[in-house]
Chains A and B, each alone.
Chain A
Amino acid sequence: MKVIYQTDLEKAAFFLQKLISKKFKDADTWILNYKLKFKSSTAHKDLYMAFGLAGRAAGKELLMPDEQEMRMAGELRKGFSINGWTTDRALRVLLLLIFPHTDFEYYKNSINTLFSSADLNELVALYSALPLLPNPEEFTDRAAEGVRSNIGDVFDAVVFNNPYPADYLDEGAWNQMVLKTLFVGKRLDKIIGLDKRANPRLSRMLSDLAHERWAASREVSPELWRAVGPYIDKEIIKDLERVFKDSDPVQQKAAALACSACSLPKAKELLNERKDLLRAIENNELNWENLMKPGSVLS
């Protein structure tokens, strides 16, 4: 079986090891020891042990990468980020990178066992590793399972600052992920590939969610319209008309941004009625990135 790689595993492991060594002084010896153990026929047992012990060995201090290190992470794998990672999380991810995968069934079974017996921090590490693992398509069910988690940190590890879902989740799982993020009141802006993965079915689902919340007199997140924008149709445009009339200027801006992403004549028409917002969008003074930040957009 031909192995598909998302990154150069050796380089990625080396990169993490350097970061880990800053917080865990015996890291090099500790890691080397397991590299040797992983060559045996009972390597899976050593992996389980190492994975459990990583927390005690490395501690939970934040890695605090500098700008260059952050950039290097993105160069190793597009969209890969170590922002907010603790040392034990990085060490656990590293273990998965150095564990031999030549017998891929063995590799996959070992990782699945880790998933099914993991504690909270271990789950966070496992989901963080998804964008680096070999044969990424073998782990899509695991990612969908992570999205179903009701444990906040675990959900966040799959959904936020993680390029894996956009690259590998099928449309159904992807749409559930976006919906659930809004449903639990979290922000969409840390989802990687949100614009790229917009689709007509998701637009309909989000429009339905907005109607449900309006009916219950609940607030609708302005970000909801971001994923709707490119697929606004003759029905959904009525929602946008309503959002333009919202008394909250952030909602109006969201409506303008959504309309600017769509080619429907009616959308252009609505946007032309708000020349101030149209100009701000054209000058890039108003965009989805700064929409939710107070004070950063002209009011």
Chain B
Amino acid sequence: MLIDPHVHMISRTTDDYQAMKDAGVVAIIEPAFWLGQPRTEVGTFKDYFSTLIGWERFRASQFGIKHYCTIGLNSKEANQEKLADQVMEILPLFIMKEGVVGVGEIGYDDQTAAEDKYFRLQLDLAREANLPVQIHTPHRDKKRGTSRSMDACMDQGLDPDWVLIDHNNEETVKEVLERGFWAAFTIYPNTKMGNERMVEIVKEYGSERIMVNSAADWGVSDPLAVYKTACLMKERGIPESDIRKVVYQNALSFFSKSGQMKEEDWLNAQPIDQSQKFSGSTILRGGQTPRIDSSIIIK
């Protein structure tokens, strides 16, 4: 069983859901993010959040995958302050919904003053709502940005055990773990982290408070990244118990702090309900053999 704790399914096809299911993914967490271009109206944020807790959750269920999400104002769009204020106003409407397992993904992008302001406001919101936080670390000036993200959490009085720092690399992981935060790694072609490098990190740092995700979205990315990393870890002799932690248990332990995610959710799940299928616009068109191209290991 696998959990992908960071994947933007809204931009993926049903083939991906099918392949993930066949690879053993039982649950996923979809953090709220931007849509590739900036939104201009608060209404589109609202509809996006509604999609995450509505249609996307339903779509996943049709493939036997439990879908959870984190809700938040992402760092890129925090820079449009007028709009950001409006988004902050609707966030309380969504963060207490069922299946919302945290506030996320929030943090820094360019590390501007506006980003800092809304990041901290949302950290306060998470603390008040007793929800875990999923933090996006910047691509540029990453090492400093990651340290700064953790400083902000401490400033706002959060317990590091309730904060997941995402998109780590060899340069950032040590500090994150030492300071008591959780560390996630995004396996991406070209940028971020590769499968092989990930194996090396688990060899060096062990399996405590570490997890792997695909962060798959509308860009070049791999929704089977968690599965492939698990396979590679096995091939490279990492003990099963450590693999299980990194690709399953740690994500469950962390996000279940929200009270909105339990192992029983998928262990006792009803079989995929065929009556939910709609012939007019069904998402299951049945019968296709999923493609799992396991030869593509990202170096």
The residue in chain B whose Cβ has the minimal distance to the Cβ of A114 is B93
Which residues of chain A come closer than 8 Å to B281, judged between CB atoms?
Answer: 150
Interface segment among B47-55, B104-112, B147-155, B193-201: the answer is B47-55
CA distance A113 to B90 in the complex (A): 11
242-289 of chain B: CB within 8 A of chain A: 259, 273, 275-281
Chain B: minimal CB distance from A138 (Å)? 22
B94 located at the interface, meaning its Cβ lies under 8 Å from any Cβ of chain A in the complex? yes
Tell me if B276 and A118 are in contact (CB < 8 A): no
Flag the segment in B30-38, B95-103, B134-142, B179-187 that touches A.
Answer: B95-103
A49 to B95, CA, bound (A): 10
Does any Cβ of B come within 8 Å of A66's Cβ? no
Q: Is the CB of B50 within 8 A of A121?
A: no
A38-76 interface code vs B (CB 8 A; 1 in, 0 out): 000000010011001101100000000000000000000
B198 CB to nearest chain A CB (Å): 34
| Contact stretch, chosen from A5-13, A20-28, A183-191, A195-203 | A183-191
Q: Check if A153 is an interface residue, CB within 8 A of chain B.
A: yes
What string of 1s and 0s marks CB contacts (under 8 Å) between A96-128 and chain B?
A: 000000000000000001001111111100000
| A151 contacts the other chain (CB 8 A) | yes
Q: Are A152 and B97 in contact (CB-based, < 8 A)?
A: no
Q: Contact at A183–B279, with CB atoms within 8 Å?
A: yes
Q: Which secondary structure characterizes the binding site on chain A?
A: helix
* A48 with B278: CB separation less than 8 A: no
Given A119-B53, A152-B275, A152-B278, residue A52 in contact with residue B97 (CB < 8 A): yes
* A121 (CB) vs chain B CBs: closest residue: B98
- Number of interchain pairs (Cβ within 8 Å): 61
Task: Choose from A55, A117, A153, A186 the contact partner of B98 (Cβ within 8 Å).
Answer: A55
Inter-chain contacts of B273 with A (CB < 8 A): 152
* B76 sits at the interface (CB 8 A): no
Instruction: Select A119's contact among B47, B98, B279, beta carbons within 8 Å.
Output: B98
Would you call A118 and B54 a contact (CB within 8 A)? yes
- Using CB atoms, name the residue of chain A closest to B95: A52
Residues on A with beta carbons closer than 8 Å to the beta carbon of B259: 56
Residues of A near B99 (CB, < 8 A) are: 119
Q: Contacts A52-B98, A153-B276 given: A116-B46 contact, CB under 8 Å? A: yes
Judge if B57 is at the interface, Cβ distance under 8 Å: yes
In the complex the two chains form, is A120's CB within 8 Å of B279's CB?
no
Distance in angstroms between the alpha carbons of A113 and B276 in the assembled complex: 26
CB–CB B57/A118 < 8 A: no
Q: Contact at B54–A48, with CB atoms within 8 Å?
A: no
Contact with B94, one of A117, A123, A151, A185 (Cβ below 8 angstroms): A117
Are B54 and A123 neighbours in the complex by a CB distance under 8 Å?
Answer: yes
A184 and B97 contact, Cβ closer than 8 Å, known pairs A116-B46, A117-B49, A120-B57? no
| A151 adjacent to B58 (CB under 8 Å) | yes
Taking a contact as CB atoms under 8 Å apart, the answer to whether A184 and B278 are in contact is yes
Residues of A within 8 A of B57 (CB): 119-120
Contacts of B46 in A (CB 8 A): 116-117
A121 partner residues in chain B, CB cutoff 8 A: 98
B290 at the interface (CB under 8 A from A): no
Partner of B280, one of A119, A184, A186: A184
Find chain B residues with CB under 8 A from A113 CB: 93
A49 touches B92 (CB 8 A): yes
User: Most chain-A Cβ atoms within 10 A of its Cβ — which of B93, B99, B259?
Assistant: B93
B residues within 8 A CB of A118?
50, 54
Tell me, rounded to whole Å, the shortest Cβ–Cβ distance linking A86 to chain B: 12
Whether the Cβ atoms of A150 and B278 lie closer than 8 Å is yes
Interface residues of B in 167-212 (CB under 8 A from A): none
Give chain B residues whose Cβ lies under 8 Å from the Cβ of A122: 97
Identify which of A119, A152, A180 contacts B276 (C-beta below 8 A). Answer: A152
Q: How far is the CA of A39 from the CA of B31 in the complex (A)?
A: 36
Interface centre among B46, B49, B96, B273, by most A CB within 10 Å? B96
Q: How far is the CA of A116 from the CA of B93 in the complex (A)?
A: 11
Q: How distant is the Cα of A53 from the Cα of B93 in the complex, in angstroms?
A: 11
Instruction: Return chain A residues, CB-CB under 8 Å to B277.
Output: 152, 184
CB distance from B77 to the nearest CB of A (A): 19
Q: Find out whether the CB atom of A52 lies under 8 angstroms from the CB atom of B280.
A: no
Nearest CB of B to A102, in Å: 24
Interface contact B279-A151, CB-CB below 8 Å: no
Q: Which of A49, A56, A152 has the most CB of B within 10 A?
A: A152
User: What separation, in Å, do the CA atoms of A150 and B62 have in the docked complex?
Assistant: 12
Quote the shortest CB–CB distance from A60 to chain B (angstroms).
Answer: 9
Q: Which of A151-202 contact B (CB under 8 A)?
A: 151-153, 180, 183-186
Complex partner residue of A151 from B47, B55, B280, CB under 8 angstroms? B55
User: Separation in Å of the B58 CB from the closest CB of chain A?
Assistant: 5
The distance in angstroms between the C-alpha atoms of A151 and B50, with both chains bound, is 14
Establish whether residues B54 and A185, one from each chain, have CB atoms under 8 Å apart when the complex forms: no
* A119-B54 contact, Cβ under 8 Å, with A152-B276, A183-B279: yes
Is B96 in contact with A120, judged by CB distance below 8 angstroms? no
Residues of A within 8 A of B279 (CB): 183-185
| Complex CA–CA separation, A116 to B279 (angstroms) | 25
Given contacts A113-B93, A151-B55, A186-B275, 15 further A-B contacts (CB under 8 A): A49-B96, A55-B98, A119-B50, A119-B57, A119-B98, A120-B54, A120-B57, A123-B54, A150-B280, A150-B281, A151-B54, A151-B58, A152-B273, A153-B276, A184-B277
